[in-house]
Amino acid sequence: MINEDSTKQKHEQKKTVSFSSMPSERKINNASDCISFMQAGCELKKIRSNTRIYSRFFTLDPDLQALRWEPSKKDPEKAKLEISSLKEVRVGKNTETFRSCAVVDQICEDCSFSLIYGENYESLDLVASSADIANIWVTGLRYVISHNKQTLNLIDGSQNALRTTWLHSVFSENSKASNGIMLEDEAVKLIMQLNHGLKESKIRIKIRELQSNKGKLATWVTKEEFTDIYYDLCTRPEVYFLLVQISRNKEFLDAKDLMFFLETEQGMINATEEMCLDLIRRYEPSKQGQLNGNFSIDGFTRYLISPECNIFDPEHKKVCQDMTQPLSHYYINASYNTYITENTARSPSDLLGYIRALKLGCRSIELDVYDGPNEPVVSKRNNVTSPVSFNNVIKVINQYAFVTSEYPLIICLRNHCSVGQQKVMAQKLKMILGNKIFAEPPNSTQRYLPSPEKLKRKIILKGKKLPQNIDLAEGDVTDEDEETENSRSLTDTFFVAKRTIHLCRELSDLVTLCKTVQFNNFHNSMKRQKYWEMCDFGEGEARALANEYPDDFVNYNKRFLSRVYPSNFGFESSNLNPQEFWNCGCQLVTINYQTPGPMLDLNVGWFRQNGCCGYVLRPAVMRDEVSYFNAYIKGIVPGSLPQLLHVKIISGQMFPKPRGSGTKGDVIDPYVYLEIRGIPADCAEVRTRTVHLNGENPIFDESFEFEINLPELVTLRFVVLDDDYIGDEFIGQYTIPYECLQSGYRHIPLHSFTGEEIELATLFVHIAITDRRGGGKAHKRGYSVRKGKNTIKYTMLRNTGIKVVDDAFKIAGQPLREAADIRENMQNAIISFKEICALAPTANLTQCILTMSSRLLNNVNTSTVTLNMKDKYPYLEPIGTLSDVQKKILSSYDQVIHEARYLIDVADTIYDKIMQCWKSGLEFHRGIHGLAKKEGLKGAKINKALENFAWNITVLKGQGDLLKNAKNEALENMKQIQTACVSCGLSKSTSGSASIKSK
C-alpha cells in the first residue's frame, strides 16, 4: 500500500499541474511533420531586453524561404526573418538577451530557443508553450537551414528511406497474400512483435482511425497503411529529436555520428568507429542499415533502451572499492528480525527470511534464540506462531552465507537460552559452520579490526563474552535486550536494573571480534573500549547522539563498529531512515527486509554500489585518523567542493496502472518525484508536472539542478506516481547511489513496491555532472564548479589556540589561496568559453570546439584559424582577418589555454607546499593534548582546539587532493581540445572546410 511510502505526505500538497504530452494531432515522426507544423504556425513568446515579452504568431513560408510573425508594427515584409540569413538555432537560454532579461528565472529552459542570424550574430529569442513545441521548431529550422533548397524534395520521404524500406520488407516477408495486403489480425500481431509492450487495443483503434479517414472499413491493411500505423505508434518523438540533433539534421546516424554521441554525451572514452559499427550491427533491425553502417530511429531506440544505456555504471556491478581497510571503515548491509517474513512483529518465523536476506547481500543477520522443547529455537519473544529450529537456521546460513558475497558475515546472537541449551547452540555452530567461524583471538597490539579482504568467507559471531582472565565455565553477563531498551526509552525509566543472563564458556569463546558491550559516552569509550568491542544503539539513542555529538560519533566509528536498530513500539516492523546514521559513520544500520517502502529501497540501492557484496567504503573524511567531519555543517565539507548535478526527466515508457488502484479504468496521470538523500545540505525533493491520460509514452521534458556537497553519501530515488489515483498512487521506483550514475541519455528500469523489476517500464533521462568529461566520470571525487559560494569558506584554517601549532598551519595560508585561485580561474575561463559558444554549463569542451569551428569560417567556408601545437598546448593562430565575433570567441579560447597552462605549470609546486604543511601538522597529533594543557586550555577549550586541529588537517589534505585532480583534469582537457580541433579540421594538415562540413 502506498500509504507506507513516506513520499506521499511530502508531495501531496503539490497536487496536479496540467501538462499535455504530445497530442495525436501533433504526432512527430519525421522532418516533414516538423515543417508542416511550422507552416501551420503557432504562438511563441518573443523575448526582448529587460522585461519585455511579446506573444506573436509565427509561421514558416510555404516555400521555406522566410519565417514570419504577426501582429507587428512593421511592414509585413519586414516582420520576417530570411532563412538564408540564419547561422544557427540555439537551444536553452544561451544568448545575451536571455541572460539580461529581468525575468529569466521564470522562463523554462527546455521551452527556450534562439535564432542566430546575420554577420553580427544577432538573435531572435523565443519561448514555446511547451518543450514539445520548442523541439519541433528547433528540429525543423535546423533541418531547413541544413538542407536549404533540397528540403522540399526531402519532405517526400527519401530521407526516411531506410526505415520505410525495412518496414516494407518486414510486411512482405510476413504477408501470406501476394497482392500487397495483410489480414488485420496478422498486422496487429506483427506490430506487437516489433514493439513489445504495445497494446493490441491501441493498434486496432489506430487501424480504424486510418481506414475511417480513407472512407473504408476492412479486415485487412495495405503495406502503406501498415507503415503509417507503425510510424504513428512506434516513433518516440523525444528520440527522433535527439537523433536529428546528433546526426546534424539527417534521419539516421552513421558510425561517426554515433561515435561523436558516445564521446560527447555518454562520457565514453576511446570510442572507435569499429565499436560503433558493431553496435549498429547488433541493434539496427534493417539489413540495409547493418550493411551500410547506419542507425535508423528504430535501431537507435533499441540501443538506448538496452542494458548498455542503463543509468547504472557497470563498473559498480563488481567489487570496485578497496577491501583492505579495517572493518570499521565500511558500511555493512544489516538486516533486523531476519527470521520474520511479514511486516508485523507477530508474523511467523521462517527460514525464507534468511535465504532472502543473504541472497540480497546482507552481511549481518539476527538470531533471537530461546529454549525449545528439546533444542534451541529462533523466534520473536512471546511469538504465538511456530518457531524455527536453531539447527535448521544454521544449516541455511551455512548453505547461503557466501552465495552472493565472499566477504565476512556477522551473526548477531541474541541469546535468551539456559546454559544447557547454550551448550547445544555452541555445539551446532561448531559442527555445522566448522572452520568458517572466525575463532582467532583479537591481537591486543593492533588498533583496528581486520579488513573484509582478510576475513573473506569467515563468519563472525556477535554477542556477549565472559572475561578472558577468569577461569570460569560459566558466569553472569548483562543482557542489553533490545525490547527492554525500547521499553525503557518509551517510559523514560532509566533506573531499571539491568537484566543478566548466565553464559557458558563454550558459547562465549566463539565470540571474538564482535563482543557486545554497553555504551557509556564517547569520552570513556575512546579511552577504554577495545577495537573488537562494539555497541548497539536504539534508534532514539543513536539519533540523540547524532544530533548532539555528530563529529564525536564520526570519530568513534573510525575505530569501533556500531549497530543501530529500529525502535518498534507497535506491531508494525517499520524501518528507520538509515541515511541519518550513515551520515555519522554508523556501520550496521539494521533494516526490516520484510517491510517494503522507501527505506528498504534506499538500503538496497545504496549497497548496489560495490558489486552487492554487502560492504561500502565510507568517504575518506570519515576514515582518516585525523580529520573533521560534521554532517550538519551547512554546505561546507572541509577539503571538498560542491558538484552540480543536472537531471532532465525526458519521458516514460510503458507505465503500468498502480497495483492497488481502484477501478477508474486503465488510464493513468503519471508524474515523477525525485528525492535526493545525503547529508542535510544535499537533501532535496522535486516533482515534474503531470501528464494526463498517458502511461505509455508520457513526455515530461523537465530539468532540475542540484548542488551536491558530499557525493559519496548521496543517493537518488526516482518515483513514478499516479496523480489521479484511487487507493494506490505508486507505479514504480528506482534508487541509485550518486557514485553509480552514468551520464548522458539513459534509461532507468522501474521496480515495483516490493522490489521486482517491472517489465518494459522505464524512465528516459539525461544526466550531467558539471566538470566531468562529456558529463562522464573522469576523476572520481574530483573538484567541481562552485555555485555562489565564497572561496574562503573552503580554504580557511582555524585557530587552535596553541601557538606552536597555529604557527605551523599559518605557513599554508598563501599556497591554499593560490590553489583556490588557479582552480577558480580555470573554471571561470571554461564557463566563459561555454557562454561564448552559447552552450549550457553541462556541455563539454569537445562540443565547444565543434560550435566554435563553425563560426571560424570565412565567406567561402574556409577556416580562419589553424591549430599550432606549442609545448604540447593547442593554440589557434589566425589566418587573415577575423571579424569581431570571431575575435571574441578566439580570445575566450585563448584564455582557457592560458589558465590551463598556468595551472599545470604551478600545481606541483603549490601541492608540495600544502602537503608539507599537512605533514608538519600531523606531527603534533600525538602530543596535542599536552600542548593544549601547556597553553592553559581546559575542558571545552581543549575539545575546541582538537576540533579545529582536525579541521585544518582535513582542509589541507582535501585541498591538496583537489589541486592534484585539477591538474589531471587540465591535462585531459588539453588532449580533448587537441583531438576535437583535429577532427573539426582546424589543423594545418587538414582541409578545414571539408571536415567542418562533414560534422
Domain CATH for 79: 2.30.29.30
Residue 710 and residue 677 in contact, taking contact as beta carbons nearer than 8 Å: no
Q: Is the pTM of this model over 0.95?
A: no
DSSP 357-411: HHHTT-SEEEEEEE--SSS-EE--TT--S--EEHHHHHHHHHHHTTTS--S-EEE
pLDDT for 634 beyond 50: yes
Quick check: is 992 in a domain? no
Residues 6+ apart with CB under 8 A from 540: 489, 567
Measured CA to CA in angstroms, residue 89 lies from 126, 322, 931 at distances of 11, 47, 66
For 824-865, what is the HEC assignment?
A: HHHHHHHHHHHHHCCCCCCCCHHHHHHHHHHHCECCCCCECE
DSSP 131-178: HHHHHHHHHHHHHHHHHGGGHHHHTTTGGGHHHHHHHHHHHHHH-SSS
Rounded to the nearest 5 degrees, what angle is found at the Cα of 255, between the Cα atoms of 251 and 260? 90
Residues 6+ apart with CB under 8 A from 908: 967
Question: At residue 787, what is the residue type?
Answer: K
Whether residues 270 and 199 share a domain: the answer is: yes
Measured CA to CA in angstroms, residue 187 lies from 24, 174, 182, 447 at distances of 21, 9, 6, 72
Model confidence pLDDT, tens digit, residues 180-213: 789 999 999 999 999 988 889 899 999 988 888 8
pLDDT at 314: 95
Q: Are strands 86-91 and 122-127 parallel, antiparallel or unpaired?
A: unpaired
Whether residues 758 and 810 share a domain: the answer is: no
- Summarize the confidence of residues 563-581 as an average pLDDT: 82
**DSSP three-state, residue 516:** strand
Whether residues 845 and 948 share a domain: the answer is: yes
pLDDT for 239 beyond 80: yes
Residue 134 and residue 110 in contact, taking contact as beta carbons nearer than 8 Å: yes
Model confidence pLDDT, tens digit, residues 335-387: 998 888 876 656 777 899 999 999 999 999 999 999 988 899 998 876 645 78
Domain that includes residue 568, residue range: 327-484+498-622
- Summarize the confidence of residues 258-287 as an average pLDDT: 92
Q: Which residue among 258, 280, 309 closes a domain?
A: 309
- Within 10 angstroms of residue 411's Cβ, the number of other Cβ atoms is 24
Whether residues 145 and 173 share a domain: the answer is: no
Whether residues 679 and 547 share a domain: the answer is: no
Our count of domains for the chain comes to 5
| C-alpha cell belonging to residue 412 | 548477531
Write the burial class of residue 791 (CB in 10 Å: 0-12 exposed, 13-18 middle, 19+ buried): middle
Measured CA to CA in angstroms, residue 724 lies from 679, 721, 772 at distances of 33, 9, 39
pLDDT at 667: 83
Q: How confident is the model at residue 329 (pLDDT cuts 50, 70, 90)?
A: very high
Instruction: For residues 4 and 19, give the distance between their C-alpha atoms in angstroms, rounded to a whole number.
Output: 28
Model confidence pLDDT, tens digit, residues 64-121: 999 999 987 777 777 899 999 998 899 999 888 888 888 888 888 899 999 999 888 8
Instruction: For residues 358 and 582, give the distance between their C-alpha atoms in angstroms, rounded to a whole number.
Output: 21
Instruction: For residues 476 and 497, give the distance between their C-alpha atoms in angstroms, rounded to a whole number.
Output: 14
Whether residues 447 and 475 share a domain: the answer is: yes
pLDDT for 283 beyond 90: yes
pLDDT at 664: 59
The residue among 845, 839, 843 whose CA lies nearest residue 978 is 845
Q: How confident is the model at residue 153 (pLDDT cuts 50, 70, 90)?
A: low
Quick check: is 846 in a domain? yes
Whether residues 819 and 908 share a domain: the answer is: yes
What CATH number did the domain enclosing 750 receive? 2.60.40.150
* Average pLDDT taken over every residue of the chain: 86
Quick check: is 236 in a domain? yes
Instruction: For residues 792 and 99, give the distance between their C-alpha atoms in angstroms, rounded to a whole number.
Output: 28
For 178-218, what is the HEC assignment?
A: CCCEEEHHHHHHHHHHHCCCCCHHHHHHHHHHHHHHCCCCC
Residue 112 and residue 126 in contact, taking contact as beta carbons nearer than 8 Å: yes
Q: Which residue among 573, 589, 622 closes a domain?
A: 622
| C-alpha cell belonging to residue 222 | 495495405
Write down the H helix ranges in 568-674. 579-582, 598-606
Residue 30 and residue 159 in contact, taking contact as beta carbons nearer than 8 Å: yes
Model confidence pLDDT, tens digit, residues 596-611: 999 999 999 999 999 9
Whether residues 502 and 539 share a domain: the answer is: yes
| Residue listed under C-alpha cell 517502502 | 597
Residues 6+ apart with CB under 8 A from 523: none
Whether residues 127 and 198 share a domain: the answer is: no
Q: How far apart are the first and last CA of the chain?
A: 52
| C-alpha cell belonging to residue 532 | 573488537
DSSP tally for the chain: helices H, then strands E: 32, 37
Tell me if the bond preceding 71 is cis, omega within 30° of 0: yes
DSSP 442-474: P-TT-SSPPPTTTTTT-EEEEE----TTS--SE
Residue 339 and residue 388 in contact, taking contact as beta carbons nearer than 8 Å: yes
Residue 352 parent element (H or E)? helix 352-359
Instruction: For residues 257 and 44, give the distance between their C-alpha atoms in angstroms, rounded to a whole number.
Output: 31
Model confidence pLDDT, tens digit, residues 958-996: 999 999 999 999 999 999 899 889 888 887 644 444 344
The residue among 151, 147, 89, 158 whose CA lies nearest residue 117 is 89
Q: How confident is the model at residue 896 (pLDDT cuts 50, 70, 90)?
A: very high
The residue among 410, 409, 372 whose CA lies nearest residue 388 is 372
Whether residues 970 and 857 share a domain: the answer is: yes
Instruction: For residues 132 and 141, give the distance between their C-alpha atoms in angstroms, rounded to a whole number.
Output: 14
pLDDT at 12: 42
Quick check: is 997 in a domain? no
Residues 6+ apart with CB under 8 A from 577: 599, 602
Q: How confident is the model at residue 784 (pLDDT cuts 50, 70, 90)?
A: very low
Model confidence pLDDT, tens digit, residues 665-695: 678 999 999 999 999 999 999 999 999 999 9
Model confidence pLDDT, tens digit, residues 855-884: 888 777 788 899 999 989 999 999 888 888
Model confidence pLDDT, tens digit, residues 900-923: 999 999 999 999 999 999 999 999
Whether residues 752 and 815 share a domain: the answer is: no
Q: Which residue among 309, 339, 366 closes a domain?
A: 309
What CATH number did the domain enclosing 185 receive? 1.10.238.10
What's phi and psi for 702, nearest 5 deg? -130, 140
Quick check: is 98 in a domain? yes
Residue 411 and residue 367 in contact, taking contact as beta carbons nearer than 8 Å: yes
Quick check: is 784 in a domain? no
Residues 6+ apart with CB under 8 A from 740: 312, 313, 316, 608, 609
Quick check: is 2 in a domain? no
pLDDT at 674: 97
Strands (E) located in 922-975 = none
Residue 616 and residue 360 in contact, taking contact as beta carbons nearer than 8 Å: no
Quick check: is 994 in a domain? no
pLDDT at 607: 97
Whether residues 878 and 964 share a domain: the answer is: yes
The residue among 260, 728, 326, 305 whose CA lies nearest residue 559 is 326
Residue 566 and residue 485 in contact, taking contact as beta carbons nearer than 8 Å: no
| C-alpha cell belonging to residue 204 | 486496432
